Amino acid sequence: MKIKKLFGDAIFSWNLIASIAGVVIIGNGFLAIKTISDLSAVQKGLYNTGEVIVALDNLHLVVLSAESGQRGYLLTEIEEYLTPYERALQRVTEQRDRLQNLQSDLPEQAIRINELLLLVDQKLSELKQTVGLAQADKEKQALRLVMSGTGRDLYKEIQTEFATIKSAEVQHRQALYDALSEAENEAKVTFAISGVTSILLLIGLFTVARLNTRNELSYRLELEKQNNELADKVTLRTKELTLYSDELARSNRELEDFAFVASHDLQEPLRKIRAFGDRLETSYSKSLDDTGADYVKRMRNAAERMSNLINDLLEFSRITTRGKEFLEVSLDKLLAEIIDDLEISIQESEAKLEISALPKIKADESQMHQLFLNLISNAIKFRKTDVLPIIKLAYLEQVIENEKWHVISVEDNGIGFEQEFADKIFIPFQRLHSRTEYKGTGIGLAVCRRIVERHGGRISAVSNPGNGTVFKIELPFENILLHGNGANTNDSK
């Protein structure tokens, strides 16, 4: 309990420090992101505002240049003045389009810029009209249009709009500079807070590290003490398990010897009973009446049943004690051998076997042979009198309780049984029908269950009277190595 408490305290300390560190890091990260976002927004605004101001100045200058070119040509009528005039007109168009494509951060500026562009368009129209009249030798009309003051009034309006828009942008730019200065101050504070909290965090980590170092020796001593105690307990338990294992092995040997001796000693008097019964039937059959002959027959049948019971019981006891090593077994090949062994029964019953592809597994081959032999034999034995038996073997992989299992089902169309007896049929010597109806000792399915359990699996049955039975065998996935090609469907008649 003490060492557990020490570890609990240490874990709590580190968890506390980790939580504080996480909060500090997240807080610093949030402040840093906010500061960077603010700086980025301000810088973007400054750049955009600067672009708008430059575009306004450039447009103002090229309008002046175009007007100067117009006046120079009108006063001198020299064609050379048309070249700078035309260049100025082209630049006015370019700067106008550039200013129109820019978007001010101030919503109200959009209306002012549109009004300015309309005035610029009117000014350009006035310039082109006067120059056109001069080129058409209508200098008086051109001068009269110039002297009317229309162009001068347009320029004054343009100049007023330029000044208004630019003034608003300059004020907005100054506000952005102020915001930038404030953001820089906030960044300094943020970095100062981050630095202080980081130093405090380092101090806290250093303190906890010193505390842990101080307690490490006591932890180590306590752990060594606990390990020594645990090692002593493991040693003692190992000795107990070794003794128990030896005792169990000895008990199994004695049980096997007892079963062998018992079966041998029991078989001997049975053989004598059967031998004397044969002699009575052979030598004294004429001296016996019908009742005596019936007694002799019953005695011989009882002796035979007793012999079969002893042999089955001995075989049942040897499933675990004399089980062979698990090796790779091809169930396809195994089923082919079983079908060959049951050839006469299959032909007599005109049974039809439908077998899908089965896997290869690691198992006791002889016990797997006995398992499927018993199940198929039962399917043939417990058939309906007026229906040809159909036996189906199917295989699939299935996930049960988050583990992979391989499921083999043996389905028949026989007489079936009540589902309430599904567990009883796997108990030794439990029968659902009389010996006069169906032969057997009632131990075959008990042997099947013991074989499946020895392989780490489970077997179950689902049935309904008159509708056949489905036996399901579930084996652990790790026993499955690879898949075979499947046994050929056997249809014997």
Chain segment 306-345, per-residue pLDDT in tens: 776 666 666 666 665 566 788 888 999 999 999 988 888 8
Q: Does the structure show a pLDDT above 60 at 483?
A: no
More confident site: 232 or 8: 232
pLDDT tens sequence across 61-85: 777 777 777 666 666 666 666 777 6
Domains recognised in the chain with CATH numbers: 2-213 (1.20.120.1730), 323-491 (3.30.565.10)
Question: What is the average pLDDT value for the chain, to the nearest integer?
Answer: 75
3-state secondary structure the chain: CHHHHHHHHHHHHHHHHHHHHHHHHHHHHHHHHHHHHHHHHHHHHHHHHHHHHHHHHHHHHHHHHHHHHHHHHHHHCCHHHHHHHHHHHHHHHHHHHHHHHCCCCCCCHHHHHHHHHHHHHHHHHHHHHHHHHHHCCCHHHHHHHHHCCHHHHHHHHHHHHHHHHHHHHHHHHHHHHHHHHHHHHHHHHHHHHHHHHHHHHHHHHHHHHHHHHHHHHHHHHHHHHHHHHHHHHHHHHHHHHHHHHHHHHHHHHHHHHHHHHHHHHHHHHHHHHHHHHHHHHHHCCCCCCHHHHHHHHHHHHHHHHHHHHHHHHHHHHHHHHCCCCCEEEEHHHHHHHHHHHCHHHHHHHCCEEEECCCEEEEECHHHHHHHHHHHHHHHHHCCCCCCCCEEEEEEEEEEECCEEEEEEEEEECCCCCCHHHCCHHHCCCCCCCCCCCCCCCCCHHHHHHHHHHHCCCEEEEEECCCCCEEEEEEEEHHHEEEECCCCCCEECC
* Model confidence at 485: pLDDT above 50: no
Q: What is the pLDDT of residues 441-472, one digit of tens each?
A: 567 788 888 888 888 888 999 988 888 899 99
Over the stretch 149-195, which tens digit does the pLDDT of each residue have?
566 677 777 778 778 877 877 887 788 787 777 777 777 777 777 77
